Amino acid sequence: MSGGAQYVVAAYAVIWFLVLAYVVMLGARTARVGRQVEAMMRMLDRRDAERSDSETAEDRT
Amino acid sequence: MRRRQLMALVRKDLRLELRTRETIVAMVLFAIVMLVILQFGFGTRDDDLTRFVGGLMWVTLAFTAVLGVGRSYVAEREQHVLDGLLASPVPRTVMLGAKAIAIFLYMTAVEVVVIPLVGVFFVKGSYWDAIGWIAIAALLANACIALSGTLFSGLALFTRARDLILPVLFLPALVPVVVAGAGATHAVVGGSPDMSEWRGYCLFLLAYAILFALVSIATYDAVFDD
Amino acid sequence: MTDGPARVPGQRAAAIWGVLATVLVVVSSIGVFLVAPEDADQGIIQRIFYFHVAIAIASLVAFAVACVAGILQLRTRDERWDDVGEASIRIGLLFSVLVVITGSIWAKASWGTWWVWTDPRLVTYLIVVLIYAAYFVLRSSVEDDRRMRYSAIYAIAGFASVPLSFYSVRVAESFVHPVVFTSSGANMPGSMLWWFVVSQAAMICLFVALLELDLLGRRSERALRRLAMRLESA
């Protein structure tokens, strides 16, 4: 009795697809946040570098 | 002390209601309109709807409950009674109890009209000898509605679109009450009453009321915590 | 602000659970389709059972976690428990929707109609979906501290209505119609039971992995907001 195989495949496909979509959604959010955090860290680094540059410049004068 | 506070709060609600009569009259009227709409919604002009009588009765009562429960804090909110009440040393569980008792009484008042009316409108067979059993199930269901309704209306009180939120929160939780109420009604209406079935549904309603009483008592402090 | 924003805690846990869940889902899928024996009565259709029931139980675990998180949130007023609660309910809701969809497919396959009101599992999960969908409606209409408290209370009250819905549908059912599948777990042949256990483990791990991943994202977002505030104030 192999009738109904398409239903089994459909049921599992729905499960896999929706779970995968959920994972992709979560992953996309995490990746976006990670990128923004890194960009901000770079900005902070640059600002710190500028500040220390100006401080050393002040020391010299 | 607590009992005096409880009675004072219940009296306040009832006195307000008796003076204005806005909630109960509106609820009864709403319930009658619901029954008429349901009758026409079925599309049949059949005089005997005994098969659907539990559904007709409990759908009507569930929607009426949402209406009444939604009104239950309105007076407090509009007239700033709630601020005073929350600032006073009345325990939150007493407030919960008072509100639940008020809702219970409102629902009972509605059922005094609805349950006989359902018999008049929809049942041509035996109904009146079962009305006592229906009333007992209805009182148990009222306890369920009062306890869960107080909790959910407290939650909906300070939300945006409060009138929309309450049915969305409250009606799914009422599904078991409707199932059991309609089941108990069908068990006793229409000739051969099945008392063991009726008892099963009543016990279920009792369990629902106890469970929601526990949940409400445990969480009600947090509802008004600001 | 002691923890540095460069590395968010929980990354390792999320990775481990993610790998575990993926491996188990793949293994159980292979087992269900290729290894598990054909059911004598229902034939191939019975294979829906493994994930269908496993996901149903996993969704209940998710709602239980949300209920416990709600209790802890009310006790501690810590916003992290709010995160756990919302993430759990979101996953539980996804799982319940999957239960309804796969149950509907099963109904079509074995009874020829997409919806059967006499199948208690299908009906109760529809109610469960409605109960927990309302959670997000509630969340979207309150803010801040109140949102956390109300969500916690609703997570607890919702979890109380789940067994009530289950029981009410089954009580009504038992008077009308014999229940079809409730005892199928008990009288399965051994190898079927074994693959069911593997599927169940896969679904529980999937829940934990999704939860960890979600929480990781929330922690990152929070770290990001803190960082933005520090950058502005500097």
- What is the model's pLDDT at position C183? 45
pLDDT per 10-residue tile (average), chain B, 226 residues: 82 80 88 91 74 91 93 76 78 87 93 93 84 94 95 89 90 93 89 85 94 92 80
Q: Which two tokens stand for residue C214?
A: 């979600």
Q: Are B167 and B116 in contact (CB under 8 A)?
A: no
pLDDT in tens, A5-61: 888 889 899 999 999 999 999 888 878 887 887 888 788 788 888 888 877 776 665
Going by C-alpha positions, the residue among B64, B150, B75, B45 that lies closest to residue B107 is: B64
Residue A13 lies in a domain: no
From residue B14, alpha-carbon distances to A7, B96, C4 in Å are 58, 15, 59
DSSP letter at C38 equals P
Residue A28 lies in a domain: no
- What is the model's pLDDT at position A41? 79
Note down the domain range covering A51: 34-61
Contact C161 B201 (CB under 8 A): no
Q: Does C148 touch chain B (CB under 8 A)?
A: no
Bridge partner residues of C75 (DSSP): none
- What is the model's pLDDT at position A60? 63
Question: How far does the CA of residue A44 sit from the closest CA of chain C (Å)?
Answer: 7
Write B184-187 long-range contacts (CB < 8 A, 24+). B184/B54, B184/B133, B184/B134, B184/B137, B185/B53, B185/B54, B185/B57, B185/B58, B185/B134, B185/B137, B186/B53, B186/B54, B187/C175
Residue A17 lies in a domain: no
Q: Does C217 touch chain A (CB under 8 A)?
A: yes
User: Structural domains in chain C?
Assistant: 11-216 (1.20.120)
Q: Are B109 and B28 in contact (CB under 8 A)?
A: yes
Q: Which residue of C has its CA nearest to A46?
A: C231
Report the distance separating Cα B45 and Cα B186, nearest Å: 21
Residue A53 lies in a domain: yes
* Cβ-Cβ contacts under 8 Å for B31 (sequence gap 6 or more): B60, B61, B64, B110, B113, B114
Q: Which residues of C touch B208 (CB under 8 A)?
A: 164
Q: Which residues of A touch C33 (CB under 8 A)?
A: 12
pLDDT in tens, C3-19: 444 555 677 888 899 89
- What is the model's pLDDT at position C173? 66
Contact A15 C98 (CB under 8 A): yes
Q: Which residue of C has its CA nearest to B160?
A: C141
The helix, strand and coil proportions of chain A, stated in percent and rounded to the nearest 5, come to 90, 0, 10
Q: Are B117 and B49 in contact (CB under 8 A)?
A: no
Report the distance separating Cα C135 and Cα C139, nearest Å: 6
Nearest-5° angle of CA B223, CA B224, CA B226? 120
Q: Are B7 and B101 in contact (CB under 8 A)?
A: no
Question: How far does the CA of residue C215 sit from the closest CA of chain A (Å)?
Answer: 10
Amino acid at B205: L
How many CA atoms lie less than 13 Å away from B45 in the CB half-sphere?
A: 0
Contact B212 C157 (CB under 8 A): yes
Bridge partner residues of C43 (DSSP): C39
Note down the domain range covering B157: 2-223
Report the distance separating Cα B113 and Cα B95, nearest Å: 28
**How many structural domains are present in chain A?**
1
**How many structural domains are present in chain B?**
1
pLDDT in tens, C105-141: 988 888 888 988 877 788 889 999 999 999 999 999 9
Report the distance separating Cα C135 and Cα C142, nearest Å: 11
Torsions phi, psi of B160, nearest 5?
Answer: -70, 155
Residue A29 lies in a domain: no
- pLDDT per residue as tens, chain C (234 positions): 444 445 556 778 888 998 999 999 999 988 888 887 777 777 788 888 888 989 999 999 999 999 999 999 999 988 889 999 999 999 999 999 999 999 999 888 888 889 888 777 888 899 999 999 999 999 999 988 889 999 999 999 999 999 888 888 877 766 654 444 444 444 567 778 888 899 999 999 999 999 998 998 888 888 788 878 877 786
Contact A40 C224 (CB under 8 A): yes
First-last CA distance in chain B: 25
Question: How far does the CA of residue A42 sit from the closest CA of chain C (Å)?
Answer: 11
Q: Are B59 and B38 in contact (CB under 8 A)?
A: yes
Q: Are B64 and B30 in contact (CB under 8 A)?
A: yes
Bridge partner residues of C39 (DSSP): C43
- What is the model's pLDDT at position B75? 73
